[in-house]
Amino acid sequence: MIYARARFALLALFLPFLLHATVILKNDLLNKQASEFIERIGKELVEKTGVHVYLVATNEAFPEKYNLVAYSKRYEANASKPYVMMIFAPQATILKDIDQKGRVAIIPSSDDVAAMLDKSEIMDATVDVVASIDKNKAEDKHAIGMVQGISTIADQIAAAKGVTLTQTIKDSRQGLWVLKILVIIGALIVAWIFLVRPIISRKRNG
């Protein structure tokens, strides 16, 4: 009975941390490798600064002038304060008349957290790679845009707190290198599942 009560007490103590362990609150866009990269950034940030960073990556087609701050409220129950929440919505309409889409919102939980952030720098880091004209697929550019955005948020908070992070990317060139690695890993996994493993299985079975 004593041991049961002790286990219950420990569970009650750590349950809030387990519930709020994830950085990505919604994921319609990221592959496994990019998701894990972002989770590592968020984990290091909260360990060293006490500030959480969250990502909502959604394919929802929000109408023009849709209130993303109000939208963020539905995720507050799964977020621990203090925090910064990034909403990345490539299908959200900016201007309906010219069919311009793609919105990013940076939402701090308090004025104190907001004071640590340079939103224009975060937006540049997130949007520039998405808006670039190159041969990369849209989903790959979305992934690196989110990785760079979350990384920039984390570095700004760390700088304000006087600490250094090791998991973040420091510039766009490093970000593109990370993207290439993620794409290669993803391609290898797909090749293994759909090409290599079936061949090995057929050989084993004669």
Residue 96 has pLDDT above 50, yes or no: yes
- Span 83-100, average pLDDT: 92
- The rounded mean pLDDT for the chain is 82
The pLDDT value given to residue 113? 98
DSSP bridge pairs for 83: 52
> How much is the average pLDDT of 2-17?
42
Lowest mean pLDDT: which of 1-5, 38-42, 93-97, 183-187?
Answer: 1-5
Per-residue pLDDT band for 204 (boundaries 50, 70, 90) equals confident
Out of 4-13, 99-108, 121-130, 189-198, the most confident range is 99-108
User: pLDDT, tens digit, for every residue of 138-187?
Assistant: 888 899 899 999 999 999 999 999 999 999 986 544 555 555 565 566 55
Check: pTM over 0.85? Answer yes or no.
Answer: no
Cα 154 from Cα 95, distance rounded (Å): 30
Partners of residue 22 on adjacent β-strands: none
The 10s digit of each residue's pLDDT in 18-58 is 344 589 999 999 988 899 999 999 999 999 999 999 999 99
**203: pLDDT confidence band, cut at 50, 70 and 90?**
low
| Share of residues in the chain with pLDDT > 90 (%) | 57
| Residue 133 banded pLDDT, cuts 50, 70, 90 | low
CATH class of 22-204: alpha beta
